[in-house]
Structures are given as C-alpha cells and as structure tokens.
Amino acid sequence: MTATLIKPTLPPSTHPFADIIHRLEAGGSMLPDTPENLKQIIGIYKAYAVPMDFYWRDLLYIGEQVFLNPLPFFKYFISKEYLQRPNDYACANCSPLILRGEAVVHPELMYFIEKGEAGRKLPKIMHHLWHGRVNMEFAEACMRSMFWHKDINPRFNDYLYTDTYKAAADKAIRAYFKRNPVMMGLYKLFPEMFLEKVRELSYYANLGLFWEVMAPVFFEMSDIYDEGGFAGVPDAMDFLVNGIFAVAGRPIYHHAYINGECFEIIPKSAGFTWLYEAALPYVEAIFYRTAPFRGTKSYNAQAKQVPAEQQNFHYGILYADLFPVGSAGIPPTLLMQDMTHFLPDYLLETYQEHGRGEDDLLNQVGVTFQRSMYNVTSAVIQALRCALLYPLDDTNPEHLKANREFFEQNLDRFTRPEARLKEIQKQKYR
C-alpha cells in the first residue's frame, strides 16, 4: 500500500448546508448533537413505538385475515392472535440478537386498548367511537401513500402485475368468496377491481412487515437511553444504521389466511427484501413525498402549487408545517394524538415547560417527531453511503469526493423553502 498516513482532506463544501454536510462527513446526523435533542428524539421513538406496535399487527391482520371483506367494519378490532403474535425481530426470534425487548404486545399498548382515553374498561366499540383507540387511519394513510407513489418501488410494484401474482391472487380471491355468489359474480364482472384491492392488501403486508422491525428497534433505543447507553445523537443514529443493515435481508411477502389455509400471494421466495422493497420506499414515500393533506391548506393545481410530477411531491414529515396539527382528521394529527398517549414522563415535563404546555402538546410532539425523523433520515443516508459508497475515513480523496457529492445530493432536497432542516437546527423551534 502506498497510501500515506495523513488523512486526505477536501476543501470546505460550498453547499448552502455546508455545516450539516461537514457534520455528516464527520459521522454525525442532520440533527445537531445536543442533550435536549437526544432526549426529545429518544422519548418520541418510544412514544412512536407503542402505537406502531399496534399498526404493524393490525396491518398484517388486515392484509392476512380481513383480506377482501366487503364490509370491513371491524378491521381495527384486531384478533387476539395477532395482538399476541410474537414479533419476529425481538428477543429469541431474531438470531442476530440486537434487540432484547419482549416479543409480545407492549404492556402500555395493552393497557390503552383496554382502558382507552377514558381510563376505564368499556366495550371496545365505545372506545372506538370515542376515539380512545389507536388511530389506524394514520397507518392506512402511510400505506396508501406507498401504494400511490408506485414509481419508487418498481421491482415490488412490477411484481404485482406479473402473471404469477395474478394467478396467486386469483386463487386467493376464489377461495375467499367460495361461499359468496354475489361477490364471486362481481369478481367475474370486474376482476381488475378485485386485483387492485389485493395489490393494496399487499402493501398493507409490506408496511406491516416494515414496522414489525421498527417498533422493537425504537423500544430498544428507548431502553438503551434509559440505561444511559447513548452519549449523543450520532450514537442513536449509528444504532439505527446498524439496525438497518442487520435486518436488511429480511423477506417482504404477503400471505393470506383463508379458512386457516395459507395462500402465498407474494411468497418469500420472490426475494423481496426489507431494505429495498419496504424501508427505502417507505422513507421516500412517507418522509419526503406523501400528498397534501386535505383540510390544512388550499392548493391550487392550476397555479402549479401542486407539482405535476409525483417525484417532486414534498409533503412528508421532513417538509411538514406542523403548526396546523390539531386540525381534525389529518394524518399528522392522528399520529401525534396516538403518541401523546405514550409519552415518557421526561418528555411530558419538557413540553409542560414550553409553549402552551398541555394545550399545544400535539404541536410540540409534532416538532419533536420531525426532529426524530430527520435523525432517522440521517441514518438512512449514512446507511446508503455505507452500502453504496465509501467509509468516512477512506484514504482516497476521490472516494471522499464521491461521498460528499452523495451528501450534497441528499441535502439538495432540503433547499426548497418548505424543508424544515433549517428550523430543526434551532432549539427554539418547538
């Protein structure tokens, strides 16, 4: 080897976010490394993980059990079996033992399902109607967003139009409506409609399997923090980077259970991986793109206020204006409300000291969530850099240049005015 021992250096970046690029090049996160930020993001990961523990279970329950139920009134009333379904990634189930948490449903979630917001035992239907429940509508909104932005998941999406998939779906549909001549007749008349519904259900499974990983990862991070394990924001990010790699190769599939029989609509052997067919599309669809929410702002498509191209959409959490959170029914409100039920005490105290305290809790939670998702996005960017490019301590200046270009390309997406990267640099933004 002829490489010298002196670490080659690049001239300072001229990017508008040069500071942040230098931080990323030093192995940091887009979120500044402060104890306050660490506390906020870990606290919110925990608060996010609890409802997520419900989301993934119910998404799989809908994809696998509710399936094509024409009147799915009770799709959010998850079966006991799915509620207790052991998480494939927790504890003994996961052979690369990175997560220590319980495999079964989180106790706080169990308590909430039983007692709801009212704090007492009532029939499920009462909790449901009084919104003392987990807002599955948020999970479904995410699923639909992934479903709609099909261009970001081309391999998975193309598979949904192959003959193999159609044949498997057809078999499942016929089995499901075996004793339902009306629906069977409709299927004969409009087969494409039913196929499209099954495709959507495949995305239910996809997102469910994605979150099945994320929930225990976030629980684990909360546990490590409680034990004093993270020294700063970059540590938390590195944990995520390692987690992404560790489970990258897990399969993404869609199995439907009809009368106890398993129909492999997307078999594990199709080779879809957690990283490529779920995690990366999820980040792109949910963090960056999604779609404008109804009810918060009027968009005039003729005045080009909505991009003509789907890939230019920028309504995700990284760009979101969180101040309208609280408006009825919009996905961010649903998620923030879910998280407020499970906030750790230290985070609640922080919120009470700022803004309007309890009164603007939803907003403060939203801003914290945005911070934490900038950290997750940083982890994704670093993981991709690790997978596709070069180590940060590479000795070849050409490699470092390639790394920098990669970081700059990623941060270019935050130069548009809606992006909140600038705001989250300041602690005042709450």
Partner 1 sequence: MLSLLICLPVIGSALLFALPEKYVRLGALTVSGLSLLWTAWLFTQYDMTDLGFQFTEHLTWLPALGLNYTLGLDGLGLLMVGLNAFLGWIAIYTTAADVERPKLFYALMLIVSGAVAGAFLAQNFLLFFFFYEVELVPLYLLISIWGGEKRGYAATKFLLYTALSGALILAGALGMVWLGEAANFDYETLTQIDLSVSYQVLLLVPLLFGFGIKIPLIPLHTWLPDTYVESSTPVAILLGGVLAKLGTYGLLRFGFSLLSDGWQVLAPGLAVWGSITVIYGALVAIAQQDIKRMVAYSSIGHMGFILLGAAAGNTLSLSGSIAQMASHGVILAILFALVGIIEKKVGTRELSALNGLMNPIRGLPVISALLVMGGMASAGIPGLINFAAEFIVFQGSFRQFPAQTLICVIGTGLTAVYFVILLNRTCFGRLDNERAYFPKVTIGEKMPAYVLAVVIVVLGLQPGWLLRWGEPTAVRIIIPTTKVEAATEQPAIASLSPEVLLQ
Partner 2 sequence: MPNIVEIASSSDNFSTLTAAVKAANLVEALCSEGPFTVFAPIDEAFAKLPPGTVQTLVENPPQLARILKYHVVSGAHKSADLGKMETVISLESSPIPIRVEPIFEVKNATVLTADLEASNGIIHVIDTVILMG
Q: How far is the CB of 53 from partner 2 (least distance, A)?
A: 21
Amino acid of residue 203: Y
* Interface with partner 2, residue 306, by CB under 8 A: no
CA-based nearest residue to 223, from 211, 212, 236, 234:
236
224 binds partner 2 (CB under 8 A): no
Binding residue for partner 2, selected from 60, 195, 205, 247, defined by CB under 8 A: 247
Q: Out of 110, 186, 224, 248, which residue is the one contacting partner 2 (CB under 8 A)?
A: 248
Of 81 and 359, nearer to partner 1 (C-beta) is 359
Quote the least distance from Cβ 210 to partner 1, whole Å. Answer: 30
Q: Give the residue with the Cβ less far from partner 1, 37 or 363.
A: 363
Nearer to partner 2, 65 or 242 (CB): 242
C-alpha distances in Å from residue 135, one per residue of 48, 103, 336, 340:
12, 22, 10, 12
- Residue 144: CB atoms within 10 A of its CB come to 18
Report if residue 270 touches partner 2, rule: CB under 8 A.
yes
Q: Which does 430 bind (CB under 5 to 8 A by kind): partner 2, partner 1, none?
A: partner 1
CB of 139 or CB of 213, closer to partner 2: 213
Kindly state whether residue 126 participates in binding partner 2, applying the rule CB under 8 A.
Answer: no
Distance CA 201, CA 64 (A): 8
- Contact predicate 194/69, CB 8 Å: no
The DSSP secondary structure of 165-185, one letter per residue, reads: HHHHHHHHHHHHTTT-HHHHH
Which residues in the 310-329 window bind partner 1 by CB under 8 A? 321, 323-328
Tell me the site size for partner 1, rule CB under 8 A: 17
| C-alpha span between 143 and 139 (Å, rounded) | 6
Close Cβ partners of 338 (under 8 Å, ≥ 6 residues apart)? 51, 134, 135, 138
Within a 13 Å sphere around the CA of 163, how many CA atoms are in the beta-carbon half? 0
The verdict on 186 binding partner 2 (CB under 8 A) reads: no
Q: Least distance from C-beta 273 to partner 2, angstroms?
A: 5
CA–CA gap between residue 148 and residue 152 (Å, rounded)? 10
**Orientation of helix 191-226 relative to helix 163-176, angle to 10°:** 90
Count the Cβ atoms, other than its own, within 10 Å of residue 405. Answer: 11
Q: Is 95 in the site for partner 2 (CB under 8 A)?
A: yes
Question: Of residues 81, 102, 359, 398, which one binds partner 1 by CB under 8 A?
Answer: 359
- List interacting residues with partner 2 (CB under 8 A): 95-96, 98, 241-242, 245-251, 268-273, 276, 280, 384, 386-390, 399
- List interacting residues with partner 1 (CB under 8 A): 297, 321, 323-328, 355-356, 359-360, 362-363, 423, 429-430
